[in-house]
Amino acid sequence: MAEIRPFRGIRYDQGVVGDLSQVICPPYDIITDEQQRIYQDRSSYNAILLERPLPVVEESGLEHHEGYGRAAAVFQQWLSEGVLRVDDCPAFYLHDHYFAYQGRRTKRRELIACVRLRPWYDGIYPHEETTLKAKHDRLELVRACRASFSPIFALYQDSEGEVAEVLCEASGDAPVVEFGHSHGGHVVWAIMEPELIRRIKELMVSRSLYVADGHHRYETALLYQQEQGRLYPELAHTSEQGAFNYAMMTLVDFSDEGLVVLPVCRLVRGVSESAMVGLESRLRDYFALECISLGESPGQGLGGEVLNGALIGVLGLSPHCLLLLKPREDVSTENMMPRDRSQAYRCFSVSLLNHLLLDRTLGIPYNSDNIAYSADVNEVYRQVSEGRYQLAFLPSPPQVEMVRAVADAKDRMPRKSTYFWPKAPAGLIISSLDWL
């Protein structure tokens, strides 16, 4: 089901840019304007200039999209000057991503490959809803640069460990990239040996892929494929040519010990005074409530374990208190969910949050501009305690099994339901959409 192939990756020349940790960055969708400046200040070669080009602002204050053209010009300049170099031979890239989580150092093993584009549910499954705005942004960047600077993140099942065995064999060679930084490190091998490539391709062809992060980028790739297929129909259905028929992906086993999925909290403002009055009492109609004191160091006590079986935590109703919403045996919240959605969707904590708490109880549409999102619980607490937002909702941590269940049901979780962490970096490996 998953047709993958090696490609000639584009990589930074360490002799030119120096410390590689100063030139990679997270993918576009989690970078704030403030973080943008931080990454730009790290190095004049930072991938942020390609991954998230800022729009050009005229003196009148109007924005226009020359930023995409500027990113394309920078990309071509770096290629011509040798800042970025193209590998001589096609390769799969094995990436060991090291990071610290819950006080211990761990590793996520990833296979970076070009994956043949297929319509959703033809061997490739989505699990989250998307928005038009983000897809338009990515499509404009792809049109201008004709390259992918950050990989789509997808999961596959390797219950027998067959793929893992081949990747372990490949990691016996010398890596082509190896560097560390304050938050972890990266080791990359270029798998060019024909027999290893053949075995990996054969093992992956029988597996489905579940997009974990990068739904907008995948749907953008499908749109770009359609555009290029109309321009170059002779390349639309070939495997040897037509790089636009593929998307660069980071592939991770569902059972990988380094696969971490965090919940995405909702920060809410604009709640009317009448909606706030008696809110706790109305919540008791649906849930069993328990108040947890956060003590002197509230940010240290807001991890997923503090929810302790609760569906959702609420900040803002009582000072220094996290209100836990737990299931009630005599109330079926599933029956209050949209009937046209799957059972997996109707049982999911973020679905309950959107439909039952935000929409039904507070009267706020779950796509309202009065809702902000964050996976950083310390930042969430600070925003509420400083009065910038009235309430914050902390969903229980999503499980990868739930991701798969929703996708297999051909349904989608609400947008921003999962935060796979750490993010696969932009700039580590770049793929061209003109050649493989």
Asked if 96 and 214 sit in the same domain, the reply is yes
pLDDT value, residue 428: 98
Q: Read off the DSSP letter of residue 361.
A: I
- Residue 189 · residue 287 · CB < 8 Å: no
Residue 172: per-residue pLDDT? 95
Q: What is the pLDDT of residue 417?
A: 96
CATH number, residue 294: 3.30.1760
**pLDDT tens, N- to C-terminus, the chain (436 residues):** 789 999 999 999 999 999 999 999 999 999 988 899 999 999 999 999 999 998 655 554 544 557 899 999 999 999 999 999 999 999 999 999 999 998 899 999 999 999 999 999 999 999 999 988 889 999 999 999 999 999 999 999 999 999 999 999 999 999 999 999 777 899 999 999 999 999 999 999 999 999 999 999 999 999 999 999 898 887 766 555 689 999 999 999 999 999 999 999 999 999 999 999 999 999 999 999 999 888 654 554 555 556 778 999 999 998 888 999 999 999 999 889 999 999 999 999 999 999 999 999 999 998 899 999 999 998 999 999 999 999 999 999 899 999 999 999 999 999 999 999 999 999 999 999 999 8
Same structural domain, 226 and 323: no
Strands 321-327 and 4-5: unpaired
- Give the per-residue pLDDT at 32: 87
Shared domain for 354 and 250, answered yes or no, is: no
27 and 159 housed in the same domain: yes
CA angle 210, 216, 220 (to 5 degrees): 105
Q: Kindly state whether residues 146 and 46 are assigned to the same domain.
A: yes
The predicted structure's pLDDT at residue 65: 55
CA dist., res. 115 & res. 251, Å (int): 10
pLDDT given at position 129: 93
Q: Are 309 and 392 in contact (CB under 8 A)?
A: no
Q: CA dist 238 to 33, 217, 233, 242, Å? A: 41, 22, 10, 7
CA gap 218, 154 in Å, rounded: 10
- What gap in Å lies between CA 118 and CA 218, rounded to an integer? 10
Instruction: Tell me: do 309 and 229 sit in the same domain.
Output: no
The owner of tokens 């003109």 is 434
Nearest-Å Rg of the Cα atoms of the chain is 23
What CATH number should be reported for the domain holding residue 186? Answer: 3.90.1530.10
pTM for the model stands at 0.93
Cβ atoms 14, 20 nearer than 8 A: yes
The model's pLDDT over 40-75, given as tens digits with 9 standing for 90+, comes to 999 999 999 999 998 655 554 544 557 899 999 999
Strands, E, within 192-302: which ranges? Answer: 209-213, 246-253, 260-263, 265-268, 287-293
- 307 and 233 in one domain? no
pLDDT of residue 302: 58
**Residue range(s) defining the domain that contains residue 294:** 265-416
Residues 145 and 287 both lie in one domain:
no
**One domain for residues 290 and 233:** no
Same domain, 364 and 235: no
Do 272 and 253 belong to one domain? no
Collapsing DSSP states into helix, strand and coil, what is residue 99?
A: strand
Q: What's residue 133's pLDDT? A: 86
Q: Decide: helix, strand or coil at residue 324.
A: strand
Domain count, the chain: 2
CB 239 within 8 Å of CB 5: yes
- Going by C-alpha positions, the residue among 113, 93, 97, 250 that lies closest to residue 179 is 97
Pairing of β 124-125 and β 209-213: parallel
Amino acid at 381: Y
Predicted confidence at residue 237, as pLDDT, reads 61
Are residues 95 and 131 located together in one domain of the fold?
yes
* Token pair 């931080």: residue: 38
